[in-house]
């Protein structure tokens, strides 16, 4: 279980101090899929980076399965079972997809296991297993390979920061199918930062973050109808991927 208690993150600007995350409280129960949405600049991605340890809070605490991880390094959080997928996944020239999956898993993976992880994210393993994770891959391909690495890690909590960003509609459809399959794994909690209705449809709970605070939180069937009416004319709330 993830517990966020009175979390604050502020930066200093020319105009003075600015609160990016403002005394935020949130709990994610085991085996739940939470979608975090809200206006651009509201603090969603900052919250994700705080949970992973990429940013350090200026106040409050973060607990994971009863352990205070507020001051832990990214590496120590990863060892506890927290995984993170970036909006723009890194590329690794000279490293094959198979090697990357093995590194994520923590030991050498047999070929059939690597193929299974790639198949789960909609990639033909024969075509990708020995390819390098470099500029020859499209944004959608790299995004799905990154998700495969999180599957290989067998994370207890996986965080996805706008996984739909910069990918085509076909890749987006594959991502939705992947998240739908992951949602059935009762032993893993998932947090997805997203504006996409189809991803929100998969959620157990939805949290809306605006100006660094949670303005709405509750079950999907309670929160999503209010968002459909509120955001239906917004370019930030779409049914498809970022590129159509």
The 3-state secondary structure of 30-80 reads CCCEEEEECCCCCCHHHHHHHHHCCCCCCEEEEEECCEECCCCCHHHHHHH
Partnered with residue 61 across adjacent β-strands are 5
What pLDDT is attached to residue 235? 47
> Which of 129, 120, 198 has the alpha carbon at shortest distance from 154?
120
Instruction: Tell me if 98 sits within 8 A of 129, measured CB to CB.
Output: yes
- CA 192 – CA 18 distance, rounded (Å): 25
What pLDDT is attached to residue 90? 85
What pLDDT is attached to residue 186? 65
Cβ atoms within 10 A of the Cβ of 149, count? 22
Cβ atoms within 10 A of the Cβ of 164, count? 26
What pLDDT is attached to residue 156? 92
What pLDDT is attached to residue 133? 93
DSSP character string of 179-216: HHHHHT-TT-EEEEE---HHHHTT-SEEEEEETTEEEE
What pLDDT is attached to residue 167? 74
Q: Take residue 187 and report the two structure tokens written for it.
A: 């032993």
Tell me the pLDDT of the chain (244 aa) as tens digits.
999 999 999 987 767 667 899 999 999 999 999 999 999 889 999 999 999 999 999 999 999 999 999 999 999 999 999 999 987 788 988 999 999 999 999 899 999 999 988 887 878 777 899 999 998 998 888 888 988 898 898 889 999 999 887 777 877 887 888 888 888 776 789 999 999 999 999 999 999 999 999 999 999 999 999 998 775 555 454 554 444 3
Partnered with residue 85 across adjacent β-strands are 160
What pLDDT is attached to residue 17? 67
b/e per residue 47-85 (b: at least 16 CB within 10 A): bbbbbbbebebeebebebeeeebbebeeeebbeebbbbb
> Which of 26, 23, 22 has the alpha carbon at shortest distance from 6?
23
What pLDDT is attached to residue 14? 67
Residue 8: Cβ-neighbour burial (10 angstroms; 0-12, 13-18, 19+):
middle
């Amino acid at each position: 279980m993830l517990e966020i208690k009175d979390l604050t993150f502020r930066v200093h600007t020319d105009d003075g101090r600015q609160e990016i995350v403002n005394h935020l409280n949130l709990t994610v129960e085991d085996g739940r899929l939470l979608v975090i949405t809200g206006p651009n600049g509201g603090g969603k991605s900052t919250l994700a980076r705080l949970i992973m340890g990429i940013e350090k809070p200026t106040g409050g605490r973060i607990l994971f399965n009863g352990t205070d991880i507020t001051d832990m390094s990214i590496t120590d959080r990863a060892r506890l079972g927290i995984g993170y997928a970036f909006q723009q996944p890194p590329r690794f020239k000279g490293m094959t997809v198979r090697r990357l999956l093995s590194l994520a898993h923590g030991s050498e993976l047999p070929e059939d296991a690597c193929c299974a992880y790639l198949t789960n994210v909609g990639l033909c393993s024969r075509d990708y297993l020995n390819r390098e994770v470099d500029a020859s891959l499209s944004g959608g391909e790299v995004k799905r390979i990154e998700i495969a690495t999180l599957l290989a890690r067998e994370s207890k909590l996986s965080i996805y920061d706008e996984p739909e960003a910069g990918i085509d509609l076909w890749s987006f459809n594959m991502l939705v199918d992947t998240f739908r399959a992951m949602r059935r794994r009762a032993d893993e909690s998932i947090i997805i930062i997203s504006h996409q209705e189809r991803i929100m449809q998969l959620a157990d709970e939805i949290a809306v973050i605006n100006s660094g605070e949670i303005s709405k939180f509750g079950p999907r069937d309670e929160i999503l109808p209010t968002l459909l009416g509120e955001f239906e004319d917004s370019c930030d709330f779409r049914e498809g991927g970022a590129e159509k």
